[in-house]
Structure formats: structure tokens, C-alpha cells
Structure 1
Amino acid sequence: MHLQVDSVLQSILLFPVHLLVWLYSVLSFLPWYYMTGAGQKKVMSKRVKARSTSGCTDGPYRSIDHFDRLAKEDFPGKDTLDKLFDHAVERFGDAHCLGTRDVLSEENEMQPTGKVFKKLILGEYRWLSYNDVDSVVSQFGSGLAALGLQPKSTIAIFCETRAEWMITAQTCFRHNFPLVTFYATLGEEAIVFGLNETGVSHLVTSAELLETKLKDILHQCPKLKHVVYVDQKKVSTEGYPAGTSIHSMQSVLELGVRPEHVGREIVRPEPSDLAVIMYTSGSTGRPKGVMIIHSNLIAGMTGQCERIPGLGPKDTYIAYLPLAHVLEMTAEISCVTYGCRIGYSSPQTLSDQSTKIKKGSKGDCSVLRPSLMAAVPEIMDRINKNVMSKVQEMNIIQKTLFTLGYKYKLEQIKRGYDAPLCNALLFKKVKKLLGGRVRIMLSGGAPLSPATQRFMNVCFCCPVGQGYGLTETCGAGTITEVADISTGRVGAPLICCEIRLRDWVEGGYTSKDQPNPRGEILIGGPNVTMGYYRKENSNQDFFVDETGQRWFCTGDVGEIFPDGCLQIVDRKKDLVKLQAGEYVSLGKVESALKNCPLIDNICAYANSDQNYVISFVVPNQKQLTALAKQRGIMGTWEELCTHPEMESVVLKEIKLVATNIKLQRFEIPLKVHLSPEPWTPETGLVTDAFKLKRKELKNHYLHDIERMYGGK
């Protein structure tokens, strides 16, 4: 009875709101439509963006904006990365280039669980101009040469995302030192392997990584002679191998300005020279070093930048993703090329609510107020769940108004329109979580769910471009156009490359499929890299066609729509055949079930000797704790995760979500293990782009796999 009364009251209260929204829509639509050019945007969204050059359904598909030939460079004659940077310095000299916040103080904060978290209070951003960076690059290059580094000799960087990383990269590009990159979270064994495989004699790192990770393994790298740490603080040089010299970046800069080293001739690179050997963190096995030449990166960035309208000096980019990832590295080099300023951050200091920001002080987004931002789906999913959990804490009127506004704007966006009044009244506060000025977000690294993409569109009032590319293609492949209002797709081929579909009969995908052709995605163009370093046996995924164009076989399965846009539908390596003969795509199952509010992360697993799928789940702590409380189940977080009843609750929710999104019966996990610890790159269970490391996850949960399959 009470529920009925509440419902009637809610309807009465909302009637004037619905009436007001209707009146506003009627009165404002025509002026808004013509003032904002909404009609033209709808036309752009529906236009054909790419088509087959051969007329065949398997392609190759090429952007209609560069249909005659593939684009190789954006600035004529600027065919190497050092030329791009020199061009930027000439154009933007005294403008802000790279910015870093000072740490004003550090405090230890005791958590209710008894854990101690380090909290930071940070100052404003301090900026280096383009001229400043140019000067440091010259000095650092001279200093490294004085330490014996020769042109075309490799130098490694093992460092967090920060201004010194980009300074080191630009130094290497100018002086023709091929740069070997490693993720800051890469394991010790993988680092030793990469350093020895490339035979580097010089390494750039941070003081923290030097003392916590490198100190114990340098004796395993006999060819490494010089280690440069980029921090201002003093580091003890005791306890290192006798043949290894430890230098501060400042001392190398001072070495570079000595009279005997100034004016030393610089050997500039050619477009075909090696620019980067990028070690992927790898979801399976040992890391592989992808060989990227200057012309590869120039072509890839030409394609990427064409999809970002208005890129230029008015833009501010927030840099916090791993710079050893091709998405972040090419994004930052592109920003420098076009005169944007880059403010450095980290996932722990990104927003006011981030884990390392002291309550009451400002996170990096609030201070920097970026206009451009790249993100991996994992981070967007996290933002989505945090905002929606705050909505659940609102009173009934606030929650109802937010829901009404959200649904109204969602409908408008689906039709290709906007809701300016909702933006001003409801979503302004949400926008401020990321500084309030973000005009474009770019997602890459993994599939972004349509629900999360729509959430970001609605609450942060900006388009979310979803891209698809690999380290092997310089991160370039496809990116959705800003005007494209569809979700779940990754856009049309960039102007630097083209895409073909190769039949995969075993998986059930062919170019004759209806309604759209499907198959393994092959990417071809000047952005396709030169293969894996010293891995001749692994280079079968690369080939050169009869015209001399390089291609890469991605292992991903795609579907091409009539407008030339691509959707990723499967991955060959994620396909498992069950005992009864059904094929299960683990990636498809995971992507679908991540929409479940109880799940923060999930790994589906299937054994070919069994006839059902199981799963490991990192549950949402807030949601699961609330459900446990409703059922009278008490205990620590670890105890809740191992409680049989809570496993049943999550499994029931999984089945409900799976049924609603029409997963096949055999695709739905029948058993679940709840993990109290989140999966981060530091745990070694996911890559730096938060892709699952299936082999490591299998080994980590071996006991639970045996239990769920009725073993021990």
C-alpha cells in the first residue's frame, strides 16, 4: 500500500517537470537545431565513411576521404619524428609544452581496515615551453653521446609516465638513438630478457624503479653500462655492479653543456631508421619487441590526428596512461606536433576522489581542466560505477530528477541531438569530475561497452571516440568520427591504412555472411611495423603483398557495416571448444557480463575437457557489501568473497544479465570464484592496458579451477 502511495505521489510531483521538459523541447528545438548545425551532424553520422577498393565484400576497405592513395605524412617534408618536433618548436616556441605538479606534502592516512595510505597535497602545474624542451633535448642528447652512446645504438627507458619520458623520447628521435620501451609494471624477468635481447648499454629510469626493481637485477645485464635516473633527489650509488655507472639526469645535462661536447655533430635519422622497439606487456608468454621505424609512426599519427577535429594550441591533454603503450605515446607526440600542452598525471591522482589525493585537495583534472583525454575502458567503467553509486545515495527527488534527465538526454543523443538544459542543470557537476572542459575522449586498448559509451556521452557532455589498433600497427587502424552517434563500433579505416577480412571458417566467420561480411581483420599500410625484434618465427603474422604493401594479421574478428565502419565481434585466441563441440568466445562473454553492476572485472574460463564455462570475478565492493548486509552476512571483505551465499548471489545476477543480453545457454558461466583483490598491472594478472593475462590468471586460480570443475 505504501509503495502504491509513493508511486502516485511521485507521478504527481513529476507531472509539472514532464510538462516543463516538453514545453522546453518544443520552444527551443528549432533555434537550437539551426544554431548548432545539428542537421549537418546527422548527415555526417549517416554518411558512407569507407568502401571496398575492389568491390568485393572482403575488401580492402579504405576511407573515402583518402580513397586514391593512403596518407603517409601530415606535414609535407616532415618525414621523421625529429623534424616534426623541430617544426613544432618553430611554430609554438614560448607556448606551454609539458607541465608537472609539485608535491607540496605527503601524509599517511589510516584507513578503517587498518591499512595506511599515502596521501598527497599537490601544487599548481609548472610548465616547460617548447623552447625549454628543445634546449633540454639538445643538452641531454649531447650528454648521452658524451657517455658513449652512438647513433643507431639502442637505449632503454623504464619509467613512469612523466615529462622526462617524453623529453628522453624526443632526445632519442633527434640523435637517432632507437628507444627500447618497457612498461613500468613489467616483471623483473621480462625486463632482464628485454634488456639483454636488445643489448642496451644505456638505460633511463626513475629513482623509485631503480631502487625497488632494477637494483637487484642489474647484475644479470652485463652489457648495461650507464643508468640515468630522472629525479631531482640524490640516489646512493652503493650496492650496484662494478661495471655499471649511476647518473642523475641533471649531471648528464651538465655534461652536455661542457665546451668539449657542445657543437658535436648530430647524425639525424632517415624515415627508414628504427625509432622504437616497443615491448608489449603481452597477455601470453614472454614480451615481444615490436620494431617501429620513423615512417611507421608518422603515418600512424597522420591517420589518428585526422579524426580529431580542431586539434591545436587551444587544447590541453592530460597524460596518465602508460607512455610505453603505443596509444599514449602516439597521442602525446601528436599533441606536441600540433602545439597542445600536456599536463602529466597518474591514475592515483587523476581526480579529487583518487586514491592518493588528500580529501579536500584537488586532483589533476580539477587543476589542469583538460580538453582532450584518452582512456582505457576499465577506467571509464570505473567512472561510470562511481557516479551511479553516488546517484543511488541521493534522496528520492534528486534521484528521480537525475534519472529523468538522463533518460531524456539519452533519447536525444540516440537521435543525434543534445539537451543543453540538462547539461547546465544536471550534468555540470558530473563534468567537473574531469575538470569540466573535456571536448573529446578517445577510448582504446579493449572493447568499450555501449552502455559505458552512452554514459560518458550523457554525463560528460562530449563525444567518445572508440579506436582500434595494435602496437604492430602503431596504434592506428580505425577511430570513430566525432559525428558518429552509433555505439559498439570502432569506426572506419584511418586515412593511413586499409582493412581486409580473411575468412575464418572454423570460427564460422566469412565474407559471405549476412547481413554483413565478417572475418579476421588484416590491416595494411605504411603504419604497419617491421615485425618483432629477433623473432623470425613470430613474424608470420606480417606479410608483404604484390604491390609491396605491408600487412598485419590481427587475430581479431570483425564485421564491416554498409557505411564502412568496423565492429570487433570476436578474437581467434579467445575461442574455446567445449566437450560437446560448442565454441565459446571468452572475450564476448566477458564484454557482455561487465555490464553487471555487481562486477568490477571478470575472466571467463573454459576447459575443452568440460562442458561448461566458469568465471573469476572481482566484485564491486560497495554493491556486494550492501547485499551481504541485507542478508545478515557479516565479516571482512575477504570473508564475504569466500562466503558460499555471496557466490550464489553473484552467479544469479550473472545469469540474469546473460539472459537479458541473449547469451547462449552454453556461454553462461555455471560457477564463480570471487576475488577480494582487484586485478591491477602490479598484480601481474592484467597488462598495463588492463587486458586480461589469461595464462597468469589460470595459474593464479588453479586451485579454484579444480574446485569449480569438481576436482580437488
Structure 2
Amino acid sequence: MPYPPSQQSYRVPNSEEPGSSTYYADNVFEILQQSVKATPNKDFLGRRPYNREQNTFGAYEFITYQQAYERILNIGSGLWTLADYAGVSQNFYSVALYDTLGADSIEYIMNHASVQVLVCSLDKVAKILRMREKLPLLKAIISLDNFGPNTPAEGLPSPFNTSSVSVLQQWAKASDIALYDLAQVEAMGAKEPVHPRIAKPDDIFCLCYTSGTTGTPKAAMIMHSNMDYVQRAIPSGVPIVGDIVVLSYLPLAHIYQRFIEIYVMTQSGKLGYFSGNILNVVEDLQALKPTFFNSVPRLLNRIYDRLVAGTIHAPGFTGVLARRAVAVKLAKHMFWDRIIFNKVRAVLGGNVQFVLTGSAPIDKKVLEFLRICFCCIVSEGWGQTESCGLGILNHNDAFLGGRIGAPQHGVEIKLRDIPSMNYYATDKPCPRGEMMVRGGNVFGGYYKDEKKTSEAIVEGGWLATGDVAQFNTDGTISIIDRVKNIFKLSQGEYVAPENLENVFSNNPLIMQMFVHGDSLQSTLVSVIVPDPETFVPWARNIVGNSNASLEELCQASAVNQAMLKQITTDGKKAKLQGYEFPKAIKLEHRPFDVEDNQILTPTLKLKRNVASEYYRKDIDEMYAQINNKA
């Protein structure tokens, strides 16, 4: 039964417990078989072939559900042949590796997960072979790129040729590694077919390694029963009319993209893979014309910045017209769609009906503007690896910023007191505390780590999320803090740096930000990576030098003071407390990244301990500067 507009979810009667609030309320292969049986000739998986001669990507080419199923059977059979070689006797499950992982992380994950067969693109083979001595369990590598070209125009990926592939094969043989391409594995399976081994609901579907922001990554066990929950829960929250068409461009090592792809398969939808370069995603969108676009705030914020620059912030008549159109559209008048906003909607291909954002908070003004421009529902949800990426979603007619929605079907939510942070389930008018989740979306625990599992899944099957939430009066939920990401200043005030970074990063001049504080200091300091596109012209105007480089501008004292003034103004508008304002900043021209300074995890989350050590000298200098003024 649908909820009334004023009430998004309901309390479960008589569910109160001391110290907590009331709470709100079989395998992937057979899911695939159902879709194949229902729609064998429908397009399923697509790609844009690359033409080396013309240096262009062509139109999407698809294989049907039946064709994909036959290939899956053959590849599965071929893997069993390799499995005999590798000594594997258990059900297969996948362990995805981020493309940006360094050698140390690859070594840890592959050894921890006991990986014996690795599937990767051809350009990664040499990297793995160089690590051979550190990967004693590895027995076989399968290249996704065929050693023989698919077509003369397509050929092997640059810079490879038949000679370099031959060198790799000889190197692999000398390293006691079997090296095949996917076509060879598929042919092996077609020659010696093996009957599928059907997984049980409590079998592992995949291992998803968490970001490791505070230590080594943990391997979350995503079960087949979790994917069964996906096929049951998502359709009720995604209002697509007609065929579901999705562009796959986010990392498959992240649970967000994994569950989206399972959802597409359960709905007999069409899945097109991006051409491999994130800078070409808009071109891929326009070629595929998806009906459902799942994204993350990092990308949507960039789209927003460019759209407002060309519309409501544009000079002259264009800006006047756009501002008028937005104001009228907010009043739900559709007249302006065909004049202005349908052109903006074409950026996503023109057919998008639903945009989903998750993995991090997104600003209310960004959500509202994108809803107007894309002429469709733009919804925010909540999930984490341990909840299979699912848990809470805004209803399609709910447009309240700062609220992540209500529990999805089959999910229960309650709050647990956090006395150290002064959050209680008895708070009035809105209960607050650590959000606890229970349902078919809760993962199977951490692989080879019973201690961490017992900390995450507590009595009664509740998942301790680490997020601090608030139950709003209409039954929606807001995320207001994190349990772990807090520290105390010397005067006793607690600070949640992640929340401050989200507030200040809404400034278009800022691309990345790290807020630091500790119990020996009474103030905060910050490292800011500016967005070159907006920052450079702004800063050049301050110093009066139209040729100054980004590095020179970041070192200019006048620019530093102007940026500090900017974030102080932003903090006042957000009604932050005085102790939440950074008193000194460092402008950094080098972005935080995964490989070089290693300040970010593969999911682009900030490693605070690494950032603190990396910028230790700068942090000490900023505090010395502040204390000298005092």
C-alpha cells in the first residue's frame, strides 16, 4: 500500500528497546535463466567497437540474452577446465579489482581472497607477471582482449601487436602461469561443456573489498540471497516506463554498479558499457540513450557547475531567460521544457526517465536544479557495501533536500544511542543515533574476519552502519554525521570533518578538501585543492597576472586569504559553529589521488590518517601561524 504524501514510512508497533528507537519498516544464475527464457532475443550487453583506422568509437553493438547465455555457459565450462589446472574445487565467485589499485593493494587482495585465476585487460598482464613471486597462488591469467583481432579495423589494443603478445606468452610460461585470451577459454568450454553448478542462496556471489580508509581493506561477502533481494526491492523504487537501458561506467569493484547490473538483468533490460574513458561518458550517453542513469555526487556536481555556468549564471539575456525558466519550473510549469530544458536533457541522451545518486551526500540545490534541467525524477538513496548498496530511497514524488528517503521494501531501520556524541533515540522532536539496518540486503560478513563481522552485525541481525541518522517527523531519514569520523578539540568541542568538507566543497572554486584538527589544538586547519577551471581566472584577477600558473596562484598570499574569506562566508551561510571554521588553509595544486600521493581510496574516499601524515609539515606550519597571531 503506498504511503500518503505526508508520511513516508511507519513505526513498527511495540518495537522499542532500552537504548534504541522503534524501527522502520535465490541465486544469480537462475535469475539470468529467467530473463533468457522470457526474452531470449532481446538485446542485453552492448559495446562501442573502436576503429583504429578512423580513431573513433562506433555505434553500440549488442548481443541478445540468448547469445549471452550461450557464451556464459561456454566460458563457465572453460573456467572449469582451468579450475582443474588450478586445483579449484569450490563454487566460483568473483573478486573485482579497481583499475587504479597499486601493487601493494593487488598483492593483499589477491592473496587474502586466494585468487588462482585472474581475468584482466591485456595491458594489465605485464604488471601481474612482474608481481609473480608475491602471488604464489595465481595459476592462470585470462585476457579480456583477444590475442587475434576481432576485425581488421579493430585490432589489438595499442601499443600491442602479435610480437608483444608472443613475448607475454613466453614470459607467462616461464613464470609457470597459464595465459589465455577469453576467446580461447570460450572455445575450450564449447568443446568440453560442463553442466552448470547452481549456487545456493547462502553461497558467496562476490567479494567486495571496502575502501580501507583506516587500514587494510575488508572483504564484504555479498551472497546470492542478497542479489535475490535486489531483484525484489529495486523495481518498486525505479519508475521506468518501457525498456530499461543503462550505461555502465562506474567501477564494477563497487557494490553500487554491481547491484545496478543485476537489476538490469532481472528486468530483461539493456546494458551498454562505456568506451573506457570517463571523459567520453557524455558521448556514450548520447550514443546509447539510456532511460535510467545511475551516478554519484562527484560527477553530478561537475555537471551542475557546467550547466549553471551556461544557464542561470550566464551573462545577458541568456541568463535572464534561464533564471526565469528555473523559477517558473519550480512552480511545476512545463512550458519551458521545450524551449530550454529539453536541450539540456539531451546531454544524457534525451530518453532518461530516472536519475539515481548515491555513495555520498549531494547538495539540495544541485538536486533541485538537475530535476528541472533533466525533466525527470532525480532521486537520492543510501546504501553501503555491507548493505549490498541498498537500504533507503526517496519516493518518486518526494523532493525534500537533505533527506535520503524511507526504508526500501523488506528493510527495517532503527537508531542506537551514541552517548559520547550526545545522540539519543529519545531526542525530541526527531530521534537521533547510529543507524542500524536489518533485512535481505545485509551482507554475509567479512571474509576470514569473524571479529570484524561480529562488530558489524550485532545481536538480532542488525547491521551497525557507522552513519548517524535522524528520523524526521514524516518518516523520512536524514544522515547527519559519522560515528568514526569525529575528533575532539582542546576546548572539548566535537567536530565532524566530513560534514564540514561537504559544506565547504559546494563552493565552485573547490574541487577537494581535507579538514584537520586534534585534541591538542583549539582550531581547525584545512588543505584545499582548487578546481582549476573556476579557480584560475578568479585567482588571476586577484593577483593581477593573467599568465600566473595554478601552482603560482596557490602560493600567493593574497589568494590564500581570499579563499579563507570565501569559506568563512560559506560557513556563516550554513550556520556553522565558530569552532567549525578553519582558521588557516593550504592551497594545493596537486589533486588528492589513488596512486601518487595515495590520499584517496579506490572509491575516491579520503584516507584521513594518510592525509594527516602527508601534510604533517604544512599542518604544523599552519598551527604555528595561528598560535603566533594569538
Q: Give the corresponding residue for 1:677.
A: 590
**Which amino acid in structure 2 is aligned with residue 276 of structure 1?**
C
Contact 1:61–1:493 (8 Å) recurs in 2: no
Q: Give the corresponding residue for 1:54.
A: 14
Question: What's the CA shift string for 1:326-382, capped at 9, x where partnerless?
Answer: 110000111011011011116834xxxx3x58xxxx710111111101111111111
**Which amino acid in structure 1 is aligned with residue 184 of structure 2?**
S
Select 1:210's aligned residue among 125, 134, 138: 125
Select 1:518's aligned residue among 432, 448, 459: 432
1:46 counterpart SS class: coil
- The 5-angstrom pairing of residues 478-557 of structure 1 reads 478-543=392-457, 545=459, 549-557=460-468
Q: Does 1:94 pair with 2:41? A: yes
Q: Does 1:179 pair with 2:179? A: no
- Cα shift at 1:285: 1.2
Contact 2:24–2:414 (8 Å) recurs in 1: no
Q: Give the corresponding residue for 1:15.
A: none
Contact 1:300–1:496 (8 Å) recurs in 2: no
Q: Give the corresponding residue for 2:540.
A: 629
Contact 1:556–1:571 (8 Å) recurs in 2: yes
**Which amino acid in structure 1 is aligned with residue 485 of structure 2?**
D
1:574 counterpart SS class: coil
Contact 1:45–1:485 (8 Å) recurs in 2: no
Select 1:142's aligned residue among 36, 54, 77: 77
- Cα shift at 1:250: 0.8
Q: Does 1:405 pair with 2:325? A: yes
- The 5-angstrom pairing of residues 381-460 of structure 1 reads 381-391=301-311, 394-410=314-330, 412=331, 418-460=332-374
Q: Does 1:701 pair with 2:612? A: no
Q: Give the corresponding residue for 2:238.
A: 308
Contact 1:679–1:686 (8 Å) recurs in 2: yes
- Cα shift at 1:121: 2.5
Whole-Å Cα distance in 1 between the matches of residues 44 and 438 of structure 2?
A: 33
Contact 2:456–2:465 (8 Å) recurs in 1: no
Contact 1:490–1:566 (8 Å) recurs in 2: yes
Question: What's the CA shift string for 1:240-297, capped at 9, x where partnerless?
Answer: 4622111111111111111xx12x3332111111211111232221111111221122
Contact 2:230–2:263 (8 Å) recurs in 1: no
Contact 1:301–1:476 (8 Å) recurs in 2: no
Whole-Å Cα distance in 2 between the matches of residues 539 and 480 of structure 1?
A: 29
Whole-Å Cα distance in 1 between the matches of residues 94 and 212 of structure 2?
A: 19
- Cα shift at 1:317: 0.6
Select 2:171's aligned residue among 218, 239, 250: 239
When residues 152 and 52 of structure 1 are mapped into structure 2, their CA distance, relative to the original with a 3 A threshold, is farther
1:532 counterpart SS class: coil
Structure 1: segments with no counterpart, 5+ residues: 1-40, 64-78, 108-119, 155-174, 413-417
Deviates most, 374-383 or 385-394: 385-394
**Which amino acid in structure 2 is aligned with residue 446 of structure 1?**
A
**Which amino acid in structure 2 is aligned with residue 600 of structure 1?**
M
Contact 1:319–1:342 (8 Å) recurs in 2: yes
- Cα shift at 1:390: 2.8
Deviates most, 380-389 or 684-693: 684-693
Structure 2: segments with no counterpart, 5+ residues: 147-155, 157-161
- Cα shift at 1:629: 2.8
Q: Give the corresponding residue for 1:266.
A: 196
User: Identity of aligned pairs, percent?
Assistant: 30
- Cα shift at 1:541: 2.3
Question: What's the CA shift string for 1:290-336, capped at 9, x where partnerless?
Answer: 1122112212442233211247x612111111111111000011101
Select 2:288's aligned residue among 352, 368, 376: 368
When residues 149 and 516 of structure 1 are mapped into structure 2, their CA distance, relative to the original with a 3 A threshold, is farther
Select 2:59's aligned residue among 124, 139, 160: 124
Contact 2:413–2:438 (8 Å) recurs in 1: yes
Contact 1:50–1:492 (8 Å) recurs in 2: no
**Which amino acid in structure 2 is aligned with residue 374 of structure 1?**
N
Q: Give the corresponding residue for 1:604.
A: 515
Whole-Å Cα distance in 2 between the matches of residues 496 and 442 of structure 1?
A: 20
The number of aligned residues is: 602
1:266 counterpart SS class: coil
Contact 1:62–1:495 (8 Å) recurs in 2: no
Contact 1:480–1:492 (8 Å) recurs in 2: yes
Whole-Å Cα distance in 2 between the matches of residues 682 and 363 of structure 1?
A: 27
Select 2:188's aligned residue among 238, 255, 258: 255
Whole-Å Cα distance in 2 between the matches of residues 561 and 278 of structure 1?
A: 32
Deviates most, 575-584 or 597-606: 597-606
Q: Does 1:616 pair with 2:527? A: yes
- Cα shift at 1:219: 2.2
Question: What's the CA shift string for 1:19-56, capped at 9, x where partnerless?
Answer: xxxxxxxxxxxxxxxxxxxxxx9x85423323234354
Question: What's the CA shift string for 1:380-421, capped at 9, x where partnerless?
Answer: 1111112222337844111111112122323x2xxxxx2211
Q: Does 1:476 pair with 2:390? A: yes
Contact 2:239–2:354 (8 Å) recurs in 1: no
When residues 557 and 626 of structure 1 are mapped into structure 2, their CA distance, relative to the original with a 3 A threshold, is same
Contact 1:592–1:661 (8 Å) recurs in 2: yes
- Cα shift at 1:583: 0.6
Whole-Å Cα distance in 2 between the matches of residues 299 and 488 of structure 1?
A: 27
Contact 1:492–1:564 (8 Å) recurs in 2: yes
Whole-Å Cα distance in 2 between the matches of residues 630 and 445 of structure 1?
A: 36
Q: Give the CA RMSD over aligned residues.
A: 2.5
Contact 1:502–1:521 (8 Å) recurs in 2: yes
Whole-Å Cα distance in 2 between the matches of residues 220 and 204 of structure 1?
A: 18
1:94 counterpart SS class: coil
